[in-house]
């Protein structure tokens, strides 16, 4: 039976490309905001493109903040992508300060000089273990102007854009990816396949 994945649909993100990438890997994928349908999945994906405050407002409106916190507390695997990764944090300084899901301690801060990081860049993994080791040194696609200030213990990979920043992190079965694996061609698919297999079978 293929692994079942639910993509959290809150209207802010590149859901279509995430759905396509995951289905191409043989996973069963559903795009939904329904708690009942989310409960049926073995793993949740929180995508996101846009501003942190607006995303949190929509998650609150849809009752998904408490749902995602409870899911993580009970050990449900959760992968946040790009803005979705940032939403996992304690809060963000984008357009003032907004509290996040607080599933991983740390804050979202702007790059120095309001720099924007767009394009392909490599990942250097600080954990040379499954499922990360196979992707060490590979290039992935980024598009963001904020990054994470998070404790070292949760850092999985770093990338350099003027200075070094966290590009992947993990706390238990909650994982954040600052880049877009669904737009990163073969490297992205390899990482998604290895990561999802590890999180659902661990």
Instruction: Determine which one of 37, 180, 198, 201 is catalytic.
Output: 180
Q: Beta partners for 110?
A: 146
Instruction: Determine which one of 37, 60, 82, 95 is catalytic.
Output: 82
180 as an active site residue: the answer is: yes
Buried-state track 114-148, b at ≥16 Cβ within 10 A, e below 16: eeebeeebbbebeeeeebbeebeebbbbbbbebbb
What is the rounded CA–CA span in Å between residue 104 and residue 87? 9
Instruction: Determine which one of 138, 182, 198, 201 is catalytic.
Output: 182
For residues 143, 175, 132, 6, the Cα torsion angle rounded to the nearest 10 degrees is -90
82 as an active site residue: the answer is: yes
153 as an active site residue: the answer is: no
Instruction: Return the active site residues.
Output: 82, 180, 182
């Amino acid at each position: 039976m293929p692994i079942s994945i639910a993509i959290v649909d809150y209207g802010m993100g590149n859901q279509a490309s995430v759905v396509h990438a995951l289905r191409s890997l043989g996973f069963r994928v559903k795009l939904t905001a329904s708690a009942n349908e989310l409960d049926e999945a073995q793993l949740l994906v929180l995508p996101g493109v846009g501003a942190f405050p607006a995303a949190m407002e929509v998650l609150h409106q849809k009752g998904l903040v408490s749902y995602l916190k409870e899911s993580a507390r009970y050990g449900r695997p959760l992968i946040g992508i790009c803005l979705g990764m940032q939403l996992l944090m304690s809060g963000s300084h984008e357009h003032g300060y907004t509290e996040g899901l607080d599933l991983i301690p740390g804050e979202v801060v702007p790059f120095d000089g309001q720099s924007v990081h767009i394009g392909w860049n490599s990942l250097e993994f600080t954990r040379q273990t499954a499922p990360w080791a196979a992707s060490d040194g590979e290039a992935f696609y980024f598009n963001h102007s904020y990054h994470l200030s998070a404790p070292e213990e949760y850092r999985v990979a770093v990338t350099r854009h003027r200075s070094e920043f966290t590009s992947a992190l993990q706390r238990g079965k909650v994982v954040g990816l600052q880049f877009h694996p669904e737009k990163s061609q073969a490297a992205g698919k390899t990482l998604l396949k290895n990561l999802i297999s590890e999180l659902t079978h661990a």
